[in-house]
Amino acid sequence: MSNLLIKGGTVVNGSDLVVADVLIEDGQVIELGPQLGQPGGCESLDATGCYVMSGLVDLHCHMREPGFEESETIETAARAGARGGYTCLVAMPNTVPAIDSPQMVEMIRQKADRAVVDVQVAGAITQGRKGECLAEIYEMAKAGVRIFTDDGAGVQDSRLMLNALRYSVVGDLVMAQHCEEASLATGGHINDGVISSQLGISSIPREAEETMAYRDVLLAKKTGARLHLLHVSTSNTLDIVRQARAWGVKVTCEVTPHHLLLSEDDVVTLNPDMKVNPPLRTLDDCRKLALGLLDGTIDAVATDHAPHHIDNKTQPFEDCAFGMTGLETAFGVIFTLLTRGTVSGKSKILEPINEREAIGLVHTTMSMNPAKIAGVSNQQGGPLRCGALANVLVVDPRASWVVDRTKLSSKSKNTPFDRLELFGKVIHTISKGRLVVKDGELL
């Protein structure tokens, strides 16, 4: 653990911004205020012109271990996360074997103990993620698991999903759905629309997502359960969320940076790094998702970090795996989008907002809200105040950088943002009181 004095930054707690030094000792924030003196043995970090806030929390991270260690491990994902400003990652259970028992949860936790940032485990809803019978939800919940999902696939059987939601009410758990109606989606590679027709590639209609989102909202309404919709990709799904809230349904949802910035137009060249599930939709969807982020319909930005070994991304488009990496680019993409309306070379997505509003929205949707949804708001997500655990991020809003896939820390390089210029850079990441990223580099 490091004793640290972060000097001269602007501390962000939601929309509340105040210039203050932050003193960290023994893993905790122990003092905040102007012009704090530097105690002996304490390392000083200059944060002039920077924002200081609670570290980012990712609700949706594929760490690939066990089963796909050639693509990523818990250790390498955590390092990539730290470099991207994350101090907490929720590990998805679509590993091999799947995380569907308390024994598997324990195994992941043991590996995660050595990771540079906090790793929370999501459990599978069904045994082996096969969608046939419920996993040991109660036992995993007793072991402290808070979020359950079969991500990678949706739970197709409505009766099974209803039962899972009933279970979750008892334990105050969150059921997170990858909304995809298999009978509509199976065999598809890109969004169903003009581009898929032009290219003659089999497609995934938006209704594959929307029908399951609507079904689950109705089931959550019936049961009073907490439902989280993963990686929302269409404007209609957002309308379903709005309707659900009007009904009083406890629903939250997330959007990824790639579904905000990229559209099916980016798939025209059949770049395998643009292949993702749910697929990139239309520019109109991007713009409506952005409005949903600004108006609070969308609770969280999540990466859906999905690293793939190069062998899975160098085949013909139809044979390539779905997924993109995202941990190291998420902050830059979102901050650039919010403050500039797009990223250079891409279509305009939204009317830019000012830097202070943008950083407040980043804090709310990438740190505070995801920490609440993940059930870790006692340790993550702020507010930064005396006594808070020192999971802290320092970002420079003025620094620009060009994404270079070869320099990313993730074991896999399948980013769709390669060579884009981003504004807003992670400078320091402090996880559990320890400085793990300094001046943008892992220690």
User: So which residues are the catalytic ones?
Assistant: 304
Kindly indicate which of the ranges 42-50, 170-178, 251-259, 356-364 contains the residues binding Zn ion, using the contact rule CB under 5 A.
170-178
Count the neighbouring beta carbons within 10 Å of the beta carbon of residue 441. 9
Query: Which residue lies nearer to Zn ion by CB, 178 or 313?
Result: 178
Distance CA 235, CA 206 (A): 9
Query: Which residue lies nearer to Zn ion by CB, 45 or 61?
Result: 61
Q: Are 31 and 23 in contact (CB under 8 A)?
A: yes
Q: Judged by CB under 5 A, which of 7, 62, 146, 178 binds Zn ion? A: 178
* Residue 58 sits in the site that holds Zn ion (CB under 5 A): no
Kindly indicate which of the ranges 62-70, 143-151, 194-202, 232-240 contains the residues binding Zn ion, using the contact rule CB under 5 A.
143-151
Extract the tokens encoding 277: 């599930």
CB of 178 to Zn ion, least distance (A): 4
CA angle 301, 281, 350 (to 5 degrees): 60
Query: Which residue lies nearer to Zn ion by CB, 55 or 205?
Result: 205
CB of 152 to Zn ion, least distance (A): 6
Q: Are 366 and 297 in contact (CB under 8 A)?
A: no
Which residue in this structure is represented by tokens 């050595």?
114
Extract the tokens encoding 112: 């995660």
CA dihedral 270, 271, 273, 275 (to 10 degrees): 0
Is residue 334 exposed (0-12), middle (13-18) or buried (19+ Cβ within 10 Å)? buried
Give the total of residues touching Zn ion (CB under 5 A). Answer: 2
CB of 231 to Zn ion, least distance (A): 5
CB of 249 to Zn ion, least distance (A): 21
* Residue 228 sits in the site that holds Zn ion (CB under 5 A): no
Kindly indicate which of the ranges 4-12, 96-104, 128-136, 173-181 contains the residues binding Zn ion, using the contact rule CB under 5 A.
173-181
Distance CA 97, CA 99 (A): 7
* Residue 254 sits in the site that holds Zn ion (CB under 5 A): no
**Residues in 256-285 at the binding interface with Zn ion, rule: CB under 5 A:** none
Q: What is the chain's Cα-based Rg? A: 21
- State the amino acid at position 381 in one-letter form: G
Q: Judged by CB under 5 A, which of 65, 100, 136, 151 binds Zn ion? A: 151
> Measured at CB, which residue is nearest to Zn ion?
178
Query: Which residue lies nearer to Zn ion by CB, 55 or 154?
Result: 154
DSSP state of 122: P
Query: Which residue lies nearer to Zn ion by CB, 185 or 220?
Result: 185
Residues 6+ apart with CB under 8 A from 121: 90, 91, 93, 99, 105, 108, 109, 112, 145
Residues that bind Zn ion (CB under 5 A): 151, 178
